[in-house]
Chain A
Amino acid sequence: MSHLLEVKNLGKTYRPRKAWPWSQKSVAIEPISFHIDAGETLAVMGETGSGKSTLAKIIAGVDNPSSGELWLNGQKLHNQHYQQRCHNIRMIFQDSENSLNTHLTLRKQLEEPLKFNTNLTAQERNEKIDIALRRVGMLTEHGEFYPHMLSSGQKQRVCIARAIILEPQIVVADEALVGLDPSVRAQIINLMLDLQQDMGISYILVTHSPQIVKHIADKILILYRGKMIVFDKTDIVLGDDQQPYVHQLLHDHLNKQIKFKSDKAKKIAD
């Protein structure tokens, strides 16, 4: 059986700006292979400079790999074939404040991916936008709003709506949950889980929060200076105490929890 996305020997090297033809290239990612299935969440972890954002960009098609191939449902993904990529893999960025165009209403922003990638009529496009807005918990009237009229949580919702409007199979989220308020973050996590259940989306989640990884990831991929050191199911990685680096990255922060026992509050809630 073929997997949803199969990454084979994917590598990325950069050539330094001032370099001789024979001088060594700097390696961002050494050739790595992994796969994910439909409806799964893969968490990519690692410290700064470990190549996790580069990996996310290559999968989303923003950047080209130096070597290796991407296979989706047994079909090869071509580097410059953006329509194919957009229909299947979409991306959410870290800073929702800056990833929306301030000059366009939300309806126009959501219309753009449809205009570029589909042959729908104007009316069909509008219907799709309404469905996408309602799916992320907003009103269809919000379509006439400009980004500055929304709160940060709503902006993040619009970014998610823009990602799912083409009904992709994979959504790549690059640090999409960093810097949000606790209540907004919990809402966005719930929304992402709901969408996964309803539409069967797979997520590739680049993050450094061990708590979020433990809660929503099915598989974990850990990068260290461009090398893949772990790729396995979440419970196996969390159960494994062998690798010191994994321990430092995950366990130290998971075990550090604050005490919490509000019996009274639980009684009232029941």
Chain B
Amino acid sequence: MQLLDIRNLTVEMKTPHGIVRVLDKVNLQLGKGEIHSLVGESGSGKSLLAKAIVGFTNPNWEVTADRLWWNGQDLLAMNTKQRRAVTGRDMAMIFQDPYSYLDPNSTVEQQIVEAIPEGDVRGTFMRRRVDRKTRVKRLLHRVGIRDHESVIDSYPFELSQGVAQKVSIAIAIAHRPRLLIADEPTTAMEPSTKLQIHRLLARLAASQEMSVLLISQDLTSILPETKQLTLLYCGQLMETGPAEEVINHPAHPYTDSMLRMSLQTQQELPHKARLPTLPGAIPTLRHMPIGCRLGPRCPYAQKQCVKAPLATQKQQRVFHCHFPLLELES
């Protein structure tokens, strides 16, 4: 059974200019211990999807779904208290800029101690203090900070960006969640720090049976261990499927151009040559095109594209396009 099962999740926002559909019938399945990458440019609604999963919603959003199941329980049918209990027990989230999410006024130790569940700590009053400290050390070791002595009494501003992100991961895994949502954890980091964080997430997923939903901006900065890959554009699902297949044989024009735009795949391009890119800019919330929202920027768009394409399924892959790049054997 899938751990997280989302069918046709729709989020509508009430704005002064009318209701805007910011997420349009998105499907997502996540198994136990799996790494799932969610890729999309800014404004694609990828962070919004994460917020809808953890129930971090605003009163003027309307979240509807055919199914929003967590481990067999319907999250939308719960009341706030039950939902918070489930989310607090099973899910955790880390964000892009660790400095702005760590408390600048308290030390690393104080912040991690706060995240350790009270039920885990055993013993009498003095014992509990010692136990907490050993747990903090153990957590720091687990996220790859060997030299815990120098980190444990530091304030966040004294840490480097990579270490600060590791501390925020330590806080997130303190209560042994079953799902870790990483919202662009490595954007604007140096390549070597990025690699460290990626390795850490992959190791945690493998050793703790923790599922990871990795949100990323760039198709080339996903984890090599990613099992499933989902691409969003302006709130619409473009393509989803096993990562290796999607990257090697993209079916949707958007996946294909995302791959072409990155320099990593264009190794044989001559020095200083112009890069292939999508024309135009990402539409704003007020000016969403009808039908397939990629339409105005898509190199293969034709008349039919003003109607939203239905899902096409081919084995484990699903894509929404009238003119897929993949040949369909019927």
Contact = CB atoms under 8 A, between A and B. Distances in A.
Nearest to A152: B42
A178 B220 contact: no
B14 to A, nearest CB: 20
A47 B190 contact: yes
Interface in A178-195: 178-179, 181-187, 189-190, 193-194
B316 interface: no
Given A48-B160, A181-B42, A182-B41, A262 B278 contact: no
A2 B210 CA distance: 61
A264 B326 contact: yes
Given A153-B281, A265-B256, A211 B263 contact: yes
Nearest to A95: B188
Contacts of B187: 179
Given A48-B160, A151-B284, A211-B264, A262 B42 contact: no
Interface string A148-163: 0001111000000000
B218 A182 contact: yes
A208 B269 contact: no
A153 B253 CA distance: 21
A123 interface: no
Contacts of A216: 271-272
Interface stretch (A19-27, A61-69, A128-136, A253-261): A253-261
Contacts of B192: 47, 248-249, 252
B250 interface: yes
Interface string B252-281: 010011110111111101011011111001
A179 B188 contact: yes
Contacts of A261: 248-249
A51 B274 CA distance: 31
Contact of B267 (A153, A257, A264): A257
B263 A260 contact: no
Among B220, B253, B281, B326, chain A packs the most CB atoms within 10 A around the CB of B281
Interface string B168-190: 00000000000000000001101
A181 B217 contact: yes
A215 to B, nearest CB: 5
B284 A182 contact: no
Contacts, number: 104
Contacts of B191: 208-210, 252-253
A183 B265 contact: no
Interface in B280-316: 281-282, 284, 299-300
Contacts of A47: 190, 192
A258 B247 contact: yes
Interface string A23-51: 00000000000000000000000011000
Interface string A183-226: 11111011001100000000000001111101110000000000
B79 to A, nearest CB: 38
B281 A212 contact: no
A194 B327 CA distance: 37
Contact of B259 (A212, A252, A262): A262
A268 interface: yes
A269 B256 CA distance: 11
Nearest to B257: A183
Interface of A: 47-48, 151-154, 178-179, 181-187, 189-190, 193-194, 208-212, 214-216, 234, 248-249, 252-253, 257-262, 264-265, 268-269
> What 5 A-B pairs have minimum CB-CB distances, sorted nearest first?
A211-B263, A186-B277, A181-B41, A260-B265, A186-B275
